Chain A
Amino acid sequence: MSLLAFDHVDACYGAARILNDVSFNVDAGERVAVLGRNGVGKTTVVNTLCGGTTIRAGEVRINDRGHTDLPHYLAARSGIATVLQGRGILPNLTIEENLLLGASVGRKGPWSLEAVYGLFPILRERSTNMGLGLSGGQQQMLAIGRALMANPDLLVLDEPSEGLAPVIVDELAELFNRLGRDGTAIMLIEQNVGLIQRVAERYYVLSKGQVIESGSLEGMSTEQLQRHIAI
């Protein structure tokens, strides 16, 4: 079953069209990467999913139901949790409150406050601290933990490696693979070749707001992948 599909989507900010006839899909349990340089429209894909753009043509299909006007909350309530670029930590809430906010959709599943604290013990130690008092890597843990609290079928990650040390990126890769093995689909929007190679099975390349290539990552060399990102 397709959890998320963009079907010939044109998406705009005001009068400016950013996505042009974009189509892709992510099925249950898949790990898919969306690649591309800065400014090609990768984050606009996430913003469109989260209702931040106007869809002028095509539709976004969530669990095989088509939508052209998405309220912000629709994806989360349909089992698609998003980790935003910049992490979106609420600075006036404690770490625990940030996590509890992730559970607002009320979906049942394996992830609870205890399970997230088990995955990221540092968050339990600092549960009463404010969210922005954490390091970059810890903030990313908080953002991922908060997304998991929604017990999603699909986890959308927008540039999760941005600003993180390589050792932390390695830990993230292990975590995403573990989540994938447990059945959570992953959509990774990234430029970090190492992370893409370790996590994703399929890829789409975005350029100037259009999908220009797609395929399997199996057997693809680092150089080939870098060439795709540099397009």
Chain B
Amino acid sequence: MLIQVLNGVVYGGLLYLLAVGLVLIFGLREIVNFAHGALFMLGSYIGFSIAAIFDFWLGLAGAIVAMTLVGLCLDAGVLRPLRKHDHMVTVLVTFGILLVLETFATAVWGKAFRSMQPPELLSGTVELFGEPFPVYRLFVIAVSLCVAGGLTVWLRHSRIGLYVRASSVDPTTTGILGVDTDRLSLLVVGLGTGLAGMSGVIAAPLMALSPTMGNFILIESFIVVVVGGLGSFSGAFIAALLIGQIHNMGAVYLPWASTLLPFLLMVCVLIWRPTGIAGGKG
């Protein structure tokens, strides 16, 4: 049972890494980025390709850098020019980017499933609660906690973090007060996309790589964002851990209903609190 709880934390951690990028981008650009799962997938493949030549760590670093650059281009080339259009236009464009990136990945890496090994340093198991537990999964938990802690400190105690929190609720008023929300958005979309790339590489040893690998986890990340409260970083963390547990416990104890349970949770939370656990934008 305790091992299953830890496995739930591992999945919740991955969900958080992906969902926090969605939260960041939603806050600044006020759009739901349908391409986020494809960015996760692309980060995964980039890490896989670099790791095949060098090693896992260079693959991880390379994917973060490459995906951050992709994020900067996404904001400067797509999201910023479309900011004065109806949000639905931007959402449809991000859906188009999802399709383009999946086709691109199919052309470059093929449709066949691929797998990536964890680094040697993190292979093997340790004994926890009398049972073996993969070291790599503990690494995933540690990375998620470090990212959550780092983001919290950055958002709470830095000047830029203050601007990001303000913009996540009201980018127009924040701009009127003198903050260049376009430059802030460039930073935030770059960071969010870099995090998507990082989560893609970290998830790669735990799941099969395929051009559509981002779709299911993206849906659960959307549930995390909605349950946590649109634009809420702390809410996303709580919701990711909750859905990680529900996903994992459901797969073990209620496999026939496991894909349904996160949706049921979302419905219950929205009935209880329509703005999600930690409020945010209504």
Q: Output the least CB separation between A180 and chain B (Å).
A: 22
Binary contact readout B65-76 vs A (1 if CB under 8 angstroms, 0 otherwise): 000000000000
Most A CB within 10 A of own CB, among B175, B177, B179: B177
How far is B231's CA from A93's CA once the two chains are assembled, in angstroms?
Answer: 13
How far is B37's CA from A18's CA once the two chains are assembled, in angstroms?
Answer: 42
Binary contact readout A28-53 vs B (1 if CB under 8 angstroms, 0 otherwise): 00000000000000000000001110
Binary contact readout B163-189 vs A (1 if CB under 8 angstroms, 0 otherwise): 101101110111111111110000000
Q: A92-B165, A97-B162, A104-B163 are in contact. Are A76 and B178 (CB under 8 A)?
A: yes
CB-defined contacts of A9 to chain B, threshold 8 Å: none
Interface size band for B: 20 to 34
In the complex, the chain A residue whose C-beta lies closest to that of B171 is A72
CB-defined contacts of A71 to chain B, threshold 8 Å: 175, 180, 182
Most B CB within 10 A of own CB, among A52, A73, A100: A73
Contact present for B168 and A72 (CB under 8 Å): no
CB-defined contacts of A51 to chain B, threshold 8 Å: 175
In the complex, the chain A residue whose C-beta lies closest to that of B279 is A92
Q: Which of A83-91, A111-119, A168-176, A196-204 contacts B (4 or more CB under 8 A)?
A: A83-91
Q: Is A56 an interface residue (CB 8 A)?
A: no
Contact present for A93 and B175 (CB under 8 Å): no
How far is B280's CA from A53's CA once the two chains are assembled, in angstroms?
Answer: 26
Contact present for A91 and B178 (CB under 8 Å): no
Q: Output the least CB separation between B186 and chain A (Å).
A: 14
CB-defined contacts of A105 to chain B, threshold 8 Å: 177-178
Interface size band for A: 20 to 34
How far is B167's CA from A73's CA once the two chains are assembled, in angstroms?
Answer: 13
Q: A100-B162, A104-B163 are in contact. Are A84 and B176 (CB under 8 A)?
A: yes
How far is B170's CA from A108's CA once the two chains are assembled, in angstroms?
Answer: 26
Q: Output the least CB separation between B87 and chain A (Å).
A: 14
Q: Output the least CB separation between A131 and chain B (Å).
A: 10
Contact present for B176 and A73 (CB under 8 Å): yes
CB-defined contacts of A50 to chain B, threshold 8 Å: 172, 175-176
Contact present for B169 and A91 (CB under 8 Å): yes
In the complex, the chain A residue whose C-beta lies closest to that of B172 is A72
How far is B163's CA from A90's CA once the two chains are assembled, in angstroms?
Answer: 11
How far is B179's CA from A71's CA once the two chains are assembled, in angstroms?
Answer: 10
In the complex, the chain B residue whose C-beta lies closest to that of A46 is B176
CB-defined contacts of B180 to chain A, threshold 8 Å: 71, 73
Contact present for A82 and B176 (CB under 8 Å): yes
Q: Is A150 an interface residue (CB 8 A)?
A: yes
Contact present for B170 and A88 (CB under 8 Å): yes
How far is B181's CA from A52's CA once the two chains are assembled, in angstroms?
Answer: 14
Contact present for B176 and A72 (CB under 8 Å): yes
Question: Could you name 17 residue pairs across A and B whose Cβ atoms are closer than 8 Å?
Answer: A52-B172, A73-B177, A73-B181, A82-B176, A88-B170, A90-B169, A92-B168, A92-B279, A97-B162, A101-B174, A101-B177, A101-B179, A104-B159, A104-B178, A105-B178, A146-B177, A150-B178
| With A90-B173, A92-B165, A101-B163 already in contact, 4 other A-B pairs whose C-beta atoms are closer than 8 Å | A76-B176, A90-B166, A101-B174, A150-B178
Point out residues on B near A: beta carbons under 8 Å: 159, 162-163, 165-166, 168-170, 172-182, 279-280
